[in-house]
Amino acid sequence: MAPTNWIGLGFVATAVNASPEIIATTPVTIVCPQVCFGMGYPENDPGLEATRQLISGCKNCGLGVAGWAWCCNPDRAEEEASYHAAIVGELGLSLFIANMEEPYDAHGNQSDPRMFAPDRYAQVFRAVSSAELGLTTTPRWGSSGNGMRSAGAVIMPQAFTGDVPDATIPNCVSHAQAWGWTVDRIRPLVQVYAPRPNADTYNADALACNVGVVPYVVEQAFDDEGMNMVKTLAPSIQRPPAPAPKPPEPIPPEPAKGPPEMPFKGALYPPDAKEKGKTPSPDSPQVVAIKRGISRAGYWKWQSFDDSYSNAFAHGGSSGPGVEGFQGAHVDLKGKPPSGWYGSATHEALRTFVLPSGPNKGQWAFDATAVNLYNSS
């Protein structure tokens, strides 16, 4: 899976309205029509015959072809992924983008079943299809992207500033990064349909963020104004992805004998726990240790950690799902919803958590620094 495969991509909403001959005069080199609508809604599916004609026309013009589809059934994510993969196979596509908007958006709520539906979708899609996978979402989409990233996906947040003024490229990129996406795998969609935003602003923002862009939707930009906008966006449409970030400094592997010795030192509560009769925990080195562990487990952005057990870290915020996210996925809560309070069950789950992927695969979530901090007092 390579982010470079998306250079030159342009979305098409309706295959019958797209002209490969016109698109070939623009910086778009890969045409991406909608190929289906969800799963179980055949009456809303675009005609595959029109899509096949567009694919044939694109190939005749020397254009590459991808496909995109709406995702509408999070409670049946596995079936939806299988359905989409079958369409991709039927059309012979090697590039595909899943459009997961509100139906798959948990808005950061770990107890919402939509939170991990994208992971289930990605696992099944990748088991069925080897096509390069992309994901497009609304600007502040708040569901797990772990499965999509494991499947090699690039995210394409919708920077449609003509419709949503604060959905700027910088805002979209920073939000995606806070949820675990690295800049080399972020390629925002930008609006080229009316009311058309300023192309120079898009170019300046994309350059500043070091990302390429994807125009949406190309067949609605065939008038002079739209064509001029698409051509002005050429440097951004054709920009290669940023280099992949360097992996963190190697951390010595944990002893093979077992998880680190870290006796539980007591529960930790965020400030809002006071409303439920709990005393908020004071700042301490133990909090820094837990933040390192939660971050290495994939539920908080790696950063320079402070020592406050904040509401954001407990319940999830701009840096990721936090303690609640880890609890929802890995802690036996005996049927209770995740609280974000750090108790003995959460401590034991984190202490014995083995990193499943990445450069530190096979290590414990608590590294040596975290162990020393937690045991320091």
Categorize the per-residue pLDDT at 43 as very low, low, confident or very high, splitting at 50, 70 and 90.
Answer: low
Q: How many CB atoms lie within 10 A of CB 112?
A: 16
Do residues 232 and 275 share a domain?
Answer: no
Residues 37 and 125 in one domain: yes
- Residue 106: which domain range? 3-237
- Contact 95/134 with Cβ under 8 angstroms? yes
The whole-number pLDDT of residue 294 equals 97
Beta bridge partners of 134: 97, 154
Looking at the structure, do residues 98 and 226 belong to the same domain, yes or no? yes
CB atoms within 10 A of CB 333: 14
Which of 47-51, 342-346, 349-353 has the least mean pLDDT?
47-51
Give how far Cα 222 sits from Cα of 12, 24, 165, 307, 376, Å.
12, 12, 24, 55, 65
> For residue 299, what are the CA distances in angstroms to 147, 216, 322, 363?
13, 31, 5, 16
* Whether 309 and 225 share a structural domain: no
Which of 237, 258, 288 terminates a domain? The answer is 237
**Are 63 and 202 in the same domain?**
yes
Query: What Å distances lie between residue 82 and 106, 231, 312, CA to CA?
Result: 22, 37, 36
Chain segment 241-283, per-residue pLDDT in tens = 999 888 777 655 554 568 999 999 999 999 999 999 999 999 9
We report the CATH number of the domain holding residue 67 as 3.20.20.80
- In the chain, the number of structural domains is 2
Same domain, 221 and 288: no
Question: Could you tell me the pLDDT band of residue 334, with boundaries at 50, 70 and 90?
Answer: confident
Q: At CA 157, angle to CA 8 and CA 213, rounded to 5?
A: 25
Q: Model's pTM, two decimal places?
A: 0.67
* Residue 141 and residue 66 share a domain: yes
Token pair 């162990």 is found at 371
**Which tens digit of pLDDT belongs to each residue from 55-101?**
999 999 999 999 999 999 999 999 999 999 999 999 999 999 999 99
Residues 287 and 221 in one domain: no
Average pLDDT, the chain: 93
Q: How far apart are CA 266 and CA 370, in angstroms?
A: 16
Is there a single domain that holds both residue 216 and residue 69? yes
Choose one of 220, 237, 254: the last residue of a domain.
Answer: 237
- Residue 257 counted as domain residue: no
Picking from 318, 219, 246, the residue whose alpha carbon sits closest to that of residue 19 is: 219
Would the pLDDT of 336 be above 60?
yes
How many Å is the Cα radius of gyration of the chain? 23
The string of pLDDT tens digits covering residues 306-315 is 999 999 999 9
Residue 222, in any domain of the structure:
yes
**pLDDT tens digits, residue range 172-187?**
999 999 999 999 999 9
Identify the pLDDT of residue 37. Answer: 81
- pLDDT above 60: residue 41: no
Q: Is residue 262 part of a domain?
A: no
Is 252 among the domain residues?
A: no
Question: Considering the domain boundaries, does residue 68 fall inside one?
Answer: yes
Instruction: Tell whether 75 is covered by a domain.
Output: yes
Say what the pLDDT of residue 314 is: 96
Q: How far apart are CA 10 and CA 23, in angstroms?
A: 9
Whether residues 200 and 311 fall in one domain:
no
Asked if the structure places residue 263 within a domain, the reply is: no
Average pLDDT over residues 140-147: 95
Give domain status of residue 71, yes or no: yes
What was the pLDDT predicted at 373?
A: 95
**Are residues 48 and 169 located together in one domain of the fold?**
yes
SS3 annotation, 65-112: ECEEEECCCHHHHHHHHHHHHHHHHHHCCCEEEEECCHHHCCCCCCCC
Are residue 287 and residue 359 in the same domain, yes or no?
A: yes
- The helix/strand/coil state of 120 is helix
The candidate with the shortest Cα–Cα distance to 232, out of 194, 186, 188, 196, is 196
User: What tens digit of pLDDT does each residue of 207-229 get?
Assistant: 999 999 999 999 999 999 999 99
- Whether 40 shows a pLDDT value over 60: the answer reads no
Alpha-carbon distance of 147 to 161, in angstroms, equals: 28
Domain boundary pick from 218, 237, 256:
237
